[in-house]
Structure 1
């Protein structure tokens, strides 16, 4: 065998080996890059394991009934923390009465007529309170304005409109005492005290002034305290209609004379 023949034979075997390698590499490259996912040739995803069915309950053995201890139950029932039912509150007659009144008022205010009436009642009450406050500020004698009027004395003049400076008090006092009208005599004596203090410049007498206004005009001292006691006794007798015995009348007259004595003993302030 010659050398050229050997060279030709070796080249032919090398070419066949290269072709065989190229044919083996081509299917692997096509499977890796050319085929899309999911293609039958690309290979299937690994299969998930199937879920096992649940086991049936065991009914062969019966479950024993558990009962709590009776003594323990009685102990728990006796504890206040385990009492969940509140006792109904007992209501009396007046509670039920006022509850009905408030329900009726709530129902009344729910209507148009009721709201109008309620507004009128509110405004009238407010006006009454304001009027009372104004009368108190003006020092109006509410006992005389709204109370019972004192009984008439049967004398031929009206002391409410008479000027105390024009009344003959000694003669009128003697007349009332002779008639047994001791309440009127006590009133005449009190008016005589007012006249004495007015004449002495202790106070400014006016027919529409109240006894408290006269008391406020006097300075602190013995005269003011004597006049306070005299005024208290007079108001009990006249406005309170306190029945007077002869002994009580003499006590009232002593208090009235005490005011005159204190007025004389006290100098008039400059």
Structure 2
């Protein structure tokens, strides 16, 4: 009898253990439920505070709080050049642009080489690629002139008497070259340019005056200014005579 009672107690305990998990899982399902909303607090008054004007002003002055579009500080000229170089860059990115750039470099190198060769050969580029000066109405040939064989006094008087001021300026300039050559300051050669003689002169007042005289001659002769007035020619002759006086002065190199 006692053994039967013990078996019944064990069976009842086993039944209670099997029924325990559903009972324990119920609080877990209740915990997963959404929380209930809290009631609104109506006992305290919320006061909105505005910042002080000084503090707002300090914030506005700070660069981090200035949310505005900054205008470009470039000028209209800079913007124009920027658009131009952008257009050049876009052009060079195309196939024709790349071909033009490649062969353009070779062409520039060839032109630079030709220019150097012509300068070494002492060729007057302005005469080679420009218009040839018009010949004077006198029986005078500039191609076969020799400063050591010309009678400058007679030729100058004839040119000035006929009003050929352009030729008179050329003859006066050649006379100056002869005086420089006679004093050993330059070595005259028919194929030399006027600027070659300028480089041969030592630095000083004489070289400065000769540079001004050369610029005057180039402007009149190679510019083919046949419409020189007597006043203009008188000014040019005064410049030449001032140079000749400086050349004759014993203190010209001072």
Task: Find the partner of 2:138 among 155, 165, 168.
Answer: 155
Q: 1:101-140 to 2 correspondence within 5 Å?
A: 101-132=84-115, 135=118, 140=123
Distance 2:78 2:209 in 1: 51
Contact 1:172 1:188 in 2 (8 A): yes
Q: Once the 2 structures are TM-superposed, how far is the Cα of residue 188 of structure 1 from its aligned partner? A: 0.8
CA contact (8 A) 1:237 1:243 kept: no
Q: 1:85 to 1:225 in 2, by over 3 A?
A: closer
TM-score if structure 2 supplies the norm length?
0.60
Q: Which structure 2 segments of 5+ residues have no match?
A: 1-23
Task: Tell me if the contact between 1:76 and 1:82 (Cα under 8 Å) persists in the aligned partners.
Answer: no
Give the match for residue 59 of structure 1: 37
Which of 69, 86, 106 is equivalent to 1:86?
69
Q: How far has the Cα of 1:59 moved from its partner?
A: 0.8
The residue aligned with 1:181 is 164
After the TM superposition, which of the residue ranges 64-73 and 202-211 deviates more from structure 2? 64-73
- Residue 236 (structure 2) aligned to one of 244, 252, 257: 252
User: Aligned to 2:174, which of 164, 187, 191?
Assistant: 191
Whether 1:204 aligns to 2:187 is yes
For structure 1, list consecutive stretches of 5 or more residues without a partner in the other structure.
Answer: 1-48
Q: Which has the larger radius of gyration?
A: 1
Aligned mates of 1:155, 1:65 — CA distance in 2: 113
Quote the Cα distance in structure 1 between the aligned partners of 2:124 and 2:214.
14
Q: Deviations over 1:106-127 (max 9, x none)?
A: 4433343332122112332344
SS at match of 2:148: helix
Counterpart Cα distance in 1 of 2:185 and 2:243: 12
